[in-house]
């Protein structure tokens, strides 16, 4: 990158260490001071990059952006006009930056002029939605300004936003249909291509997902969204060589725009490149803007996963200052307070980045053996049992059942004596203790009275072979999520306990498993039909219906 200057630093009088000063050195130094909000020094080093590459328009745009950040809008405008007038007229984003600067200078007429130029030059540009929004504001400030746009442009943005909403809602087939039409009608509108690639990916059509993403890069080889998506696709497909090539590109990117910083940060988080995720999130959170809790939480998890507990604690405390009732921030602050010194180098799974309590995903991971049974995961479940909502407590009970040790037994026995807890949850605890083969009696507090309960179901050692086979089928049923699986097991235990010793003969095991699945799906209000279960388990509909009737009688459904 350009010519090199060399300086020798003398150490210990007998060693000479050669340092190479090139454009990348000064660029990285500028970024470092920018992160520290030392704008004068950042500006000094950005100007140094121009000494090496005087015809590179990117360096001038960097300086123009920083000057605008410092409130030096007129100087920023001079550089932007120099870029589009002398260096590279294709960098049409300069029109948008000029419009922003003139708006800050209260010159709304000139701002409007440059917004129109930007919209005309880049109808599918990166800042097009912001330009429309800004133009509607400026129109009210300037006399006789009229914003003209075509009906087809209106349709494009309306349909694209609708398709994005469908993606967010998990309606991938509907999103795919809309996005395919958009790409056919507007082949150069790259956001639609990127989102169509995502729709294909979510639908499992990985070949088309990669194909469409590469087509975006062919049209625009600086499209950060496309490179980020491609990296995630390659990670999912375990294509390490291709992934590393994309990662080498992403690691060199240092965008100023908030949207791109956020996209890079979340991508690095998904790829478990937590140090890189932290660096970008730190830059975002260090801008002095009012950060939203979701962004602060992302930063805190990245900090925790890269061993920077001070930042993690700082950002979760910041969430509490924004929302002092935030259960999520309280949860994580308790979590890091109780970490043992040997746990400081932990790496939490990716779903911890979601701004919600991670109990359900954690319990699922424990059930599927996707995560190790670390002591700090146990502490998370204990927190959920003590502080969570009814749903979180139920999931925590399910998760604790996996550990099956004396400490868990003690916690669950204490739960049975807590007058604040519901009888519904205490029944769940009773089931877990029985499944753990904990020795009765179980003391349980109901209506301010303590009762001693014995085991409700016969000991597993006395279970008949086909009763146990039903449990084996349940363990292999991939249709259930973790809560449905737990409910299916507990219903089967309850069925045995309520009918024992006159439990009906279990001849065709598949017929009982199918009937149990029908009951569980109905409880969880999920669509299910006897015909589909008949095909799935290769058993007659009449057998399933008969067993459903027996369950309904026993459970009084």
**What CATH number should be reported for the domain whose range is 150-253?**
1.25.40.10
pTM above 0.75, yes or no: no
Could you give the C-alpha distances from 7 to 22, 180, 540, in angstroms and in order? 11, 56, 85
Query: Where do the CATH 1.25.40.10 domains begin and end in the chain?
Result: 5-148, 150-253
- The segment with the largest mean pLDDT, out of 130-134, 135-139, 186-190, 374-378, is 186-190
Query: Scanning the structure block, which residue is given the tokens 């133009």?
Result: 135
Could you give the C-alpha distances from 239 to 213, 252, 272, 370, 468, in angstroms and in order? 16, 21, 15, 20, 42
Pairwise CA distance, residues 329 & 219, whole Å: 43
Pairwise CA distance, residues 56 & 324, whole Å: 48
Residue 529: what pLDDT?
92
**Between residues 421 and 360, which one has the greater pLDDT?**
421
Give 340's pLDDT tier (boundaries 50, 70, 90). Answer: low
Pairwise CA distance, residues 281 & 303, whole Å: 9
pLDDT beyond 60 at 130 = yes
pLDDT beyond 70 at 155 = no
| Cα torsion through 371, 377, 383, 384, rounded to 10 | 10
Query: Where do the CATH 1.10.472.10 domains begin and end in the chain?
Result: 461-555
CB 366 within 8 A of CB 377: yes
pLDDT beyond 70 at 244 = yes
Could you give the C-alpha distances from 177 to 162, 180, 184, in angstroms and in order? 12, 5, 11
Give 477's pLDDT tier (boundaries 50, 70, 90). Answer: low
Query: Scanning the structure block, which residue is given the tokens 């409910």?
Result: 487
Query: Scanning the structure block, which residue is given the tokens 């260490």?
Result: 17
pLDDT beyond 70 at 5 = no
CATH topology of domain 461-555: Cyclin A; domain 1 (1.10.472)
pLDDT beyond 50 at 331 = yes
Mean pLDDT of the chain: 82
Residue 4: what pLDDT?
39
pLDDT beyond 90 at 214 = yes
C-beta atoms surrounding 371 within 10 Å? 17
Share of the chain above pLDDT 90, in %: 25
Pairwise CA distance, residues 99 & 116, whole Å: 9
Residue 25: what pLDDT?
80
> Which of 173-187, 355-369, 490-504, 514-528 is predicted least confidently?
355-369
- Give the model confidence (pLDDT) of 380-436 as tens digits: 888 888 888 888 888 888 888 888 788 888 999 999 999 889 888 988 888 888 888
| Among the four given CATH numbers 3.30.465.10, 1.25.40.10, 1.20.120.1760, 3.40.50.880, the one describing domain 5-148 | 1.25.40.10
CA-based nearest residue to 466, from 427, 511, 433, 519: 511
Name the helix (H) or strand (E) containing 233: helix 224-236
- Give the model confidence (pLDDT) of 247-295 as tens digits: 999 998 887 777 788 889 999 988 989 999 999 999 888 866 656 888 8
């Amino acid at each position: 990158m350009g010519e090199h200057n060399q300086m020798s630093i003398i150490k210990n009088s007998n060693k000479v260490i050669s340092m190479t000063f090139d454009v990348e050195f000064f660029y990285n130094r500028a970024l470092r001071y920018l992160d520290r909000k030392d704008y004068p020094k950042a500006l000094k080093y950005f100007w140094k990059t121009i000494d090496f590459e005087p015809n590179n328009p990117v360096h001038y745009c960097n300086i123009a952006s920083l000057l605008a950040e410092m409130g030096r809008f007129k100087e920023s405008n001079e550089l932007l006009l120099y870029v589009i007038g002398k260096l590279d007229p294709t960098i049409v984003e300069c029109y948008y930056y000029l419009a922003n600067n003139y708006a800050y200078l209260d010159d709304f007429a000139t701002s409007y002029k440059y917004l129109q130029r930007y919209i005309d030059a880049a109808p599918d540009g990166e800042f097009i939605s912001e330009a429309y929004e800004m133009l509607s504001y400026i129109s009210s400030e300037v006399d006789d300004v009229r914003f003209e746009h075509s009906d087809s442009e209106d349709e494009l943005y309306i349909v694209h936003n609708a398709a994005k909403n469908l993606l967010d809602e998990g309606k991938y087939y509907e999103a795919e249909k809309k996005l395919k039409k958009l790409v056919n009608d507007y082949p150069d509108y790259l956001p639609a291509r990127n989102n169509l690639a995502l729709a294909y990916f979510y639908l499992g059509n990985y070949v088309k997902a990669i194909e469409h993403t590469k087509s975006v890069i062919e049209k625009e080889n600086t499209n950060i969204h496309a490179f980020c998506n491609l990296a995630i696709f390659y990670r999912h497909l375990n294509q390490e060589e291709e992934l590393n090539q994309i990662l080498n590109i992403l690691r060199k990117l240092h965008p100023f725009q908030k949207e791109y910083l956020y996209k890079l940060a979340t991508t690095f988080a998904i790829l478990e490149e937590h140090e890189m995720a932290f660096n970008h999130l730190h830059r975002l959170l260090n801008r002095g803007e009012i950060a939203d809790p979701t962004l602060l939480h992302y930063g805190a998890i990245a900090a925790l996963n890269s061993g920077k507990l001070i930042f993690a604690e700082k950002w979760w405390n910041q969430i509490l200052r924004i929302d002092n009732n935030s259960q999520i921030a309280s949860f994580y602050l308790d979590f890091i307070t109780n970490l043992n010194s040997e746990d400081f180098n932990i790496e939490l799974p990716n779903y911890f980045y979601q701004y919600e309590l991670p109990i359900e995903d954690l319990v699922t991971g424990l059930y599927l053996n996707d995560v190790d049974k670390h002591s700090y995961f146990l502490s998370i479940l204990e927190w959920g049992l003590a502080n969570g909502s009814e749903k979180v407590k139920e999931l925590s009970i399910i998760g604790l059942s996996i550990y099956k040790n004396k400490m868990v037994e003690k916690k669950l026995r204490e739960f049975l004596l807590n007058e604040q807890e519901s009888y519904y949850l205490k029944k769940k605890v009773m089931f877990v203790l029985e499944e753990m083969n904990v020795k009765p009696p179980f003391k349980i507090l109901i209506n301010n009275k303590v009762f001693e309960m014995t085991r409700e179901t016969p000991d597993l050692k006395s279970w008949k072979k086909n009763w146990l086979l039903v449990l084996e089928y349940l363990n292999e049923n991939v249709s259930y999520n973790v809560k449905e699986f737990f409910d299916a097991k507990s219903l089967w235990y309850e069925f045995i306990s309520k009918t024992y010793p006159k439990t009906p003969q279990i001849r065709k095991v598949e017929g009982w498993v199918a009937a149990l699945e029908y009951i569980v799906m109905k409880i969880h209000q999920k669509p299910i039909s006897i015909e589909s279960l008949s095909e799935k388990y290769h058993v007659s509909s009449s057998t399933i219906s008969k067993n459903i009737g027996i369950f309904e009688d026993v459970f009084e459904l």
